[in-house]
Structure 1
Amino acid sequence: MQRTLGWIWAAVGLGLALPVLTVMGAWASLDAAGWAQWRHLADTVLWGYLSQSTLLTVGVAAGSVALGGGAAALVSLFRFPGRRWWDVALLLPMAMPAYVAAYAYTDALQFSGPVQVALRQQLGLQGALWGDVRSLPGAMLLFSVCLYPYVYLLTRTALSERAGPLMEAARLLGAGVWRRMATVALPLARPALVAGMALALMETLADYGVGSYFGLSTLTTGVYKAWLVQGDRLAAAQLASLLLLAVSLFLALEQRAQAQLRFAGPRAQSRAEDSAQGLTLLRGHRAWLANALCALPVTLGFFLPAGWLARMAWQSHVSGEGAQAWARYPEWALTSLKLALLAAVLTVALAVALAVSRRLQTDPAALPTRLMSAVNRLLGLGYAVPGAVIAVGLLLPIGWVQTVWPQAAPLMTGTALGLLWAYTVRFGGVALQSIDAGFARIPGSLDESARMLGASNWRLAREVHAPLLSRATLAAALLVFVDVMKELPATLVLRPFDSDTLAVVAYQLARDERLAEAAAPALAIVAVGLVPVALLWRAMRFK
């Protein structure tokens, strides 16, 4: 039994690691022609990919830290009317994928868009009133307003749990507001700022929708150009390996910052005590200014693009301009729902099996236990692997199989199996984190009591663990479901023929400049994205 269990988890681990192993193994198959192609890339487009990716990450790092850190400081360290409302509302941009916001801002602010046309008519001006939205600075601003919640959430938690008593002590010692911010709050928040920034940068590098739609030359768009335009699979894999290396650096930075959070200061005893200590009361124009500063990022990151998408969708429906798209909308929605449901069931089943198996194993030195630990690490790191890397890492071995066994390849490229495999690798860590959090709330004494009463491992898992894990399992399924609904890069490449999802359709319609028709599927993605925001708010409320 132990040997069989070991083989099972070894196979699961290989399946999870295959995309990364394939991408990194591309360097081992370089021949003279491959080196010549790589030198050609280095002489032509590689430095453009690296420079634009670097500039984009620097801009997003500065923007997300400024918006997220500033909002977290206002909500956590000051009291003013509207503070509780902004505490929740500042999370809303997490429901807005950056590529969806790009469609709304492009339609509104482009040269022929309603905003510029109306202003030119009112002011009697001609020519463009501002630069093209689809540019590198536009992408920096877009990612910053959509991804700052990562910085906001971690920084707000760190300050709310630890800064209150220390800020109060500094005030009693005579320190002013700015000195308390600089000498107490900033050092406490620094690890959280770094961790949130690293998460935002991983999402930025993994993005394909904004980079492709804005015409940027980033590493992610370079991977797709090498694969789909030039037909060079080896170059695509090598570019994907560079992207994976960059994301791995940010992941290591995030994990190191998360570890430092434990030493950032003493944790407050309760939220009630924290809310009463160390908070500076703002009145008058200062309170109005605080509300305006909190409103700025959430308005730019959620309210404006969501409102504009709703306007576009309504006008498209009323005018009949997108009648063909509206007619096929149920088909696209059904495809998205089926894929998301299948991926959620498969991914959560794997996460539950892994978590339960680790819980029931009593011998840490046994081979299955060591293999399960390795699978746990692989599954946890999958969320940091960009969809472009996973797509290339799966298509390469499928191509090798096709040369040896042509009948087997269509099973992966002509069905949803390859896509579900990619979703499991990409979002397994999300499900596992939720299940592990559920298990952390189940004391080990319950397991010991059940075993003393003669319960087998299967009965223990079925009658004790399963009921207590029901809420964590549902939360994990919802999170994976929403992530799959929003996922674009891997879906764009691995989807079966004639199986377009809402994310793919919205991207294709926007790419064809049919922005009004793209509004309805994009708005549906945003609506589904509100689910994890509601779950997160509920968890924070009862924390």
Structure 2
Amino acid sequence: MSSPATYRPSSVSGISGAAGRLMRLGALAIVGLVLLPLAALLATAAHGTGDLWPHILRNVLPVAITDTAMLVLGVGIIAGTIGTGTAWLVAVCRFPGRGLFEWALLLPLAIPTYIQAFVYVDAVHPLGPIPTAIRAALGMKSPRDLWLPEVRNIWGCILLLGFVLYPYVYLPARAAFLVQTASALDAARTLGHGATATFFRIALPLARPAIAVGVTLALMETVNDIGASEFLGVQTLTLSIYSTWLNRSSLPGAAQIALFMLVIMVGLVMLERWGRRHISHANVGNRARPPMRRELSAWAGATAFLACLVPVTLGFLVPAGHLVNAAYGRFMFRGLPETLLPEALNTALFAAIGTVLALGCGLLLAIAARTGTVRSLLLLRFAALGYAVPGTVLAVGLLVPLAGFDNLVSATVQSLGGPALGLIVSGSGAALIIAYVIRFLAIPVGALETGYEKVGMSLDMAARGLGEAPGGVVRRIHLPLLRPALGTAALLVFVDCMKELPATLMLRPLNFETLASQVYGEAARGSYEDGALAALVIVLVGLIPVILLARLSRPHAG
């Protein structure tokens, strides 16, 4: 029998012969599916009439660009400040409630931005529970006696998104502060620097790349948002795409705006990649002694407690409490909505199908990239591009090629004497599932790529040397070892599919509602109580990955 060392890396990984060629073709097909909407977007935008772009440039883009730029700048400042500040307090300070806030600061991730806007528009209404409670506490009787700032404007949207998306900054910033060595911080204190100077001159510069990654992810979510911006009256680029397509019936116009928006997303992705590239330089001495937590005085501890309590309260406790109260009132008054169960089943079914397909595609790509060659690694990078494409842009890019495929199949069947089949893919919900797969394929790709780093090639070589078939290597060695990564990726993809709003609104079949589209519809009609139960279901399911993330991100000591 040949020595295991004679096997090429491709054959060791189970990628050899006809099976290997078929697997690589499948990987190329998946990457082609991810790139298809982007290519279609270019073609669709090019078919616009000559006066379309000047109209968009004159009447649509100025307001959309201004609002989007203000939103991105404001959210970046608020999310970056809150995420970095709370991460520093939790990572290096001791104060009452620190252990609780360590995981509680992640809770706003469980509530999608459109549900946050849905809640606050109802909660701060002059007759809503928050103004009513304040008037009762102050002895006021008329709603006119109390003035509260209007939430439905650009400033309200900035504050809301900032207090929801700061966990994207908190997680990498806390990890960066935890791995900074005590020697660097002790040296700063030895030289006479106090806590504030040590933070700004030592800790913050070292953690800057990780913070940049978190801020970039928060900004990508901001640009992708459609529900919060519409509910709060902010005309962003995402909302302009949606209104140009559906309200003005101009798909080429929507494609042209989408291309402009895609340029912004590419810039954000490049910034995120730059941050990841430099994270290793910020982690000084991973094996060195971690920083000792500083015991805060009573006043400083109380201030730190409030600094962590405010974002948790505004980002989770207030909206979650309002949802529970509104859902309970709706249930006691009229019972469960008749549509709730069908909508929940629709949501679970489509999310489950999208999750299974995304995991299958991610596994195929990860196995195909097992060789570690430049070509295989490029496949992984291209396959992960979908996460950077906002749902509205993805929907516009998918519509034309899928409709063309439907027309081709229907024409072929009719030419053979069969009936007209109509919209097979784009009208059946398959388009929405394809959008889910493309949008969230980066999650299983990233998880499996990380998981495969822990599966040494020696295991493959030993199994192949003992006569195990390529499929058996994957089935009996890879899959058991990758089970934790697969489980985590499946959970994250399923919940993201449940919460996805822009692509769902634009690609769902007629008379088909999910929990997300139902919440959006009720908010658009102003019947907030009727959408509270659907929103509460989304939040409860969204808590599961947040709890998992909190457990995985907790430091082992300290």
TM-score, normalisation: structure 2: 0.90
1:289 aligned residue = 303
Alignment CA distance shift 1:118-1:174 (3 Å): closer
RMSD value over aligned CA atoms? 1.9
Which stretch of structure 1 is more off in the superposition, 54-63 or 349-358?
A: 349-358
Q: In the alignment, is residue 131 of structure 1 matched against residue 131 of structure 2?
A: no
Question: Structure 2: which amino acid aligns with 1:91?
Answer: L
How far apart in 1 are the matches of 2:451 and 2:171? 21
1:535 aligned residue = 548
SS of 2:160's partner is helix
Alignment CA distance shift 1:403-1:345 (3 Å): closer
Question: Structure 1: which amino acid aligns with 2:39?
Answer: L
Q: In the alignment, is residue 306 of structure 1 matched against residue 323 of structure 2?
A: no
Aligned partners of 1:399 and 1:409 also within 8 Å? no
SS of 2:423's partner is helix
Q: In the alignment, is residue 114 of structure 1 matched against residue 146 of structure 2?
A: no
Question: Structure 2: which amino acid aligns with 1:18?
Answer: L
Q: In the alignment, is residue 100 of structure 1 matched against residue 115 of structure 2?
A: yes
Question: Structure 2: which amino acid aligns with 1:414?
Answer: G
Alignment CA distance shift 1:449-1:4 (3 Å): closer
Find 1:389's aligned residue among 386, 393, 398: 393
Question: Structure 2: which amino acid aligns with 1:141?
Answer: L
1:161 aligned residue = 179
Aligned partners of 1:226 and 1:232 also within 8 Å? yes
1:170 aligned residue = 188
How far apart in 2 are the matches of 1:295 and 1:131? 22
How far apart in 1 are the matches of 2:203 and 2:24? 48
Alignment CA distance shift 1:409-1:250 (3 Å): farther
Question: Structure 2: which amino acid aligns with 1:517?
Answer: D
1:280 aligned residue = 294
Counting aligned pairs with the same residue, the percent is 35
Deviation at 1:384, TM superposition (A): 1.2
> What 5-or-longer segments of structure 2 have no aligned partner?
1-17, 411-419
Question: Structure 2: which amino acid aligns with 1:62?
Answer: I
Aligned partners of 1:503 and 1:521 also within 8 Å? yes
Question: Structure 2: which amino acid aligns with 1:391?
Answer: A
Find 1:492's aligned residue among 488, 491, 505: 505
SS of 1:413's partner is coil
2:72 aligned residue = 57
> What 5-or-longer segments of structure 1 have no aligned partner?
none
How far apart in 2 are the matches of 1:357 and 1:532? 28
How do 1:350-429 residues align onto structure 2 when only pairs under 5 Å count? Answer: 350-359=361-370, 361=371, 364=373, 370=375, 372-401=376-405, 404=408, 406=410, 407=420, 410-429=423-442
How far apart in 1 are the matches of 2:133 and 2:179? 48
Deviation at 1:164, TM superposition (A): 3.3
Which stretch of structure 1 is more off in the superposition, 156-165 or 294-303?
A: 156-165
How far apart in 2 are the matches of 1:433 and 1:8? 18
1:335 aligned residue = 346
Deviation at 1:413, TM superposition (A): 2.1
Deviation at 1:434, TM superposition (A): 1.3
Note the alpha carbon deviations across 1:428-464, whole angstroms, 9 max, x for none.
0011111122211212221122122222211111111
How far apart in 1 are the matches of 2:92 and 2:140? 43
TM-score, normalisation: structure 1: 0.93
SS of 2:383's partner is helix
How far apart in 1 are the matches of 2:338 and 2:81? 43
SS of 1:241's partner is helix
Alignment CA distance shift 1:73-1:497 (3 Å): same
Aligned residues: 526
Alignment CA distance shift 1:4-1:88 (3 Å): closer
Alignment CA distance shift 1:187-1:374 (3 Å): closer
Aligned partners of 1:164 and 1:268 also within 8 Å? no
Aligned partners of 2:403 and 2:425 also within 8 Å? no
